Amino acid sequence: MSTMTPMTLAETVARLEAATNRLAGARQALLTAELAALDARAALETAEAALATATLRAQADAPGTNETQRKAHALAATEAGRLDAARARGGVLEAEKALAGCKAELRLADDERRTAEALVGLWQTGVLPAPASSVPYPADGPDIPF
């Protein structure tokens, strides 16, 4: 048994307008999230390149001839760079999560818009009888902008 309450044509049109507005907002949020993800990936690449460069320099500048000691010195000298790279990886992960959320929101808004458009179209063509509580369309009904 359906728990949905029937909507009037005016309510469906209002729902369509709201979904269209939500869709526009979701598109803008998606663009912002995509740009943030690009920035996060660029920051990660920069941090990893800086870490690689610092590691090579630290190994070259390390005292002694023992390779193990030189690597240990480089490891200690580049701790801050490794932390920066780890933070950048976390930034990429957070940006990708936000991007996935924006994509889901966009799909939901688009689905809602398509559903409302389909209902209005079915009522317009007479395939689906308009609910008794709605204003007849289009002769006596409100001006519907589409």
> How many helices, marked H, and strands, marked E, lie in the chain?
3, 0
Q: For position 1, what pLDDT does the model report?
A: 42
Q: For position 2, what pLDDT does the model report?
A: 46
> What DSSP string describes 59-119?
HHH-SSS-HHHHHHHHHHHTHHHHHHHHHHHHHHHHHHHHHHHHHHHHHHHHHHHHHHHHH
Q: For position 136, what pLDDT does the model report?
A: 46
Q: For position 96, what pLDDT does the model report?
A: 96
Q: For position 131, what pLDDT does the model report?
A: 62
Instruction: Give me the average pLDDT of each 10-residue run along the chain (146 residues).
Output: 60 86 94 96 96 91 84 88 95 96 94 87 80 50 49
> Rounded CA gap, 82 and 87, in Å?
9
Q: How many CB atoms lie within 10 A of CB 82?
A: 15
Q: Which sequence spans correspond to the domains of the chain?
A: 9-125
Q: For position 4, what pLDDT does the model report?
A: 52
